[in-house]
Amino acid sequence: MAEPPVLIRQDEVEDLLHYKDLIPRLEIALRKFSKLDSAEVIQPVRTTVPLQKYNGFLGLMPAYLVHEDILCTKLVCFYKRESGSTLPSTQATVLLFDPEYGNVKAVMDGEVITAKRTAAVSAISAKLLMPAKSDVLTILGAGHQALSHYNVFTETFSFKEVRVWSRRKETAERFAQSTQGHVTVLESVEEAVNGADVIVTVTGASEPVLFGQWVKPGAHVAAVGACRPDWRELDDVLMRQAEVYVDSREGAVAESGDIILSGAKVFAELGEVLNGTRPALREKTTVFKSLGMGIQDAVSAKLVFEQWKNKH
């Protein structure tokens, strides 16, 4: 009989998962995913169950990486919350399986994994697509993803200035007080993105908050929110003037309101750029539309489990 699963708590995942280990593994997984002749990665588009009564969704995100033999699924509930709500907007649990036997080896917190792997993939997009000289980073939104993005972007790159905007100024101020380095709080999105080289959108918005007319030509936008086909963070002008990169084409055309409703064409997957089969158009205005992938959770979970076993 199989051993019962180990339970890995949020504070343990926080201690065990580091960007320096995570980023190279995510790059390998993205490369494999985008190799069309490869059956190495099996990842259906996320199944979502609407929770209409609570303005939310349950997302099921299974993935199997054949070569590494990683079988995993994340179960994630995400919600559209009213301003001032104290309820969480994302809750997640990750299950790591023994693919041969079929039992669950580990049940682990999925919130830290979601925060870190999403931010790490945005950092990969910035590494490939941001202007060669990037001095100003702007973060729109001041929640969990804002903090993980701040952490990995400041760990990986050297910005001269970091700015934040949130729909409630107090939230942006609290965010700025919680970070290691100095962050400037701006009152409007227009001011916050003025002259920015890199813009990260990590809001719970379902209508556009970032407008193309405010974005400096050549800037890179990592767009992380608006993960439903009828939700938006970016306007049509920005979507049509930018070269659009995604994590998964299949996921993007099924789930991204910014892509579906603007009619923008997807230029490339990040994995294609990493594989050298599509170019990184760094000199153009670029949008990386992130939706999140099961393989990103799978490689993160494997890493957490390996580190956990080393300690026990």
Ligand X SMILES: O=C(O)C1=NCCCC1
Ligand Y SMILES: NC(=O)C1=CN([C@@H]2O[C@H](COP(=O)(O)OP(=O)(O)OC[C@H]3O[C@@H](n4cnc5c(N)ncnc54)[C@H](O)[C@@H]3O)[C@@H](O)[C@H]2O)C=CC1
- Contact between 128 and 280 under an 8 Å Cβ cutoff? The reply is yes
Nearest approach in angstroms of CB 234 to ligand Y is 12
Query: 139 vs 192, 197, 234, CA distance in Å?
Result: 8, 11, 14
Q: Per-residue contact track with ligand Y, 222 to 251, x per CB under 6 A? A: --xx-x------------------------
Of these, 48, 73, 114, 125, which contacts ligand X (CB under 6 A)? Answer: 114
- Contact between 225 and 248 under an 8 Å Cβ cutoff? The reply is no
Query: 170 vs 102, 150, 164, 209, 281, CA distance in Å?
Result: 48, 18, 12, 18, 37
14: left (phi over 0), alpha (psi -120 to 50) or beta: alpha
Of these, 268, 291, 298, 301, which contacts ligand Y (CB under 6 A)? Answer: 291
Within its chain, how far is the Cα of 106 from the centroid?
23
Q: Whole-angstrom Cα distance, residue 170 to residue 161?
A: 20
Can residue 212 be called a binding residue for ligand X (CB under 6 A)? Answer: no
Tokens of 192: 């916050």
Q: From 7-15, 23-31, 37-45, 285-293, give the range in contact with ligand Y by CB under 6 A.
A: 285-293
Count of residues interacting with ligand X (CB under 6 A): 8
Q: Which is nearer to ligand Y, 197 or 255 (CB)?
A: 255
Nearest approach in angstroms of CB 92 to ligand X is 6
Q: Whole-angstrom Cα distance, residue 6 to residue 209?
A: 42
Of these, 137, 139, 172, 227, which contacts ligand X (CB under 6 A)? Answer: 227
Can residue 192 be called a binding residue for ligand Y (CB under 6 A)? Answer: no
- Contact between 78 and 292 under an 8 Å Cβ cutoff? The reply is no
Going by C-beta distance under 8 Å and a sequence separation of 6 or more, which residues neighbour residue 152?
19, 116, 119, 120, 122, 123
Of these, 78, 97, 165, 305, which contacts ligand X (CB under 6 A)? Answer: 78
Nearest approach in angstroms of CB 233 to ligand X is 12
Can residue 256 be called a binding residue for ligand X (CB under 6 A)? Answer: no
Q: Whole-angstrom Cα distance, residue 16 to residue 305?
A: 9
Can residue 141 be called a binding residue for ligand Y (CB under 6 A)? Answer: yes
Can you give the three-state secondary structure of 225-264, one letter per residue? CCCCCCCCCECHHHHHHCEEEECCHHHHHHHCHHHHHHCC
Q: Per-residue contact track with ligand Y, 62 to 91, x per CB under 6 A? A: ----------------x----------xx-
Can residue 114 be called a binding residue for ligand Y (CB under 6 A)? Answer: yes
Segment 278 to 307, residues that bind ligand X, using CB under 6 A: 291-292
Nearest approach in angstroms of CB 232 to ligand Y is 10
Nearest approach in angstroms of CB 281 to ligand X is 25
Which residues contact ligand Y (rule: CB under 6 A)?
78, 89-90, 114, 118, 141-146, 166-167, 171, 202-205, 209, 224-225, 227, 290-292
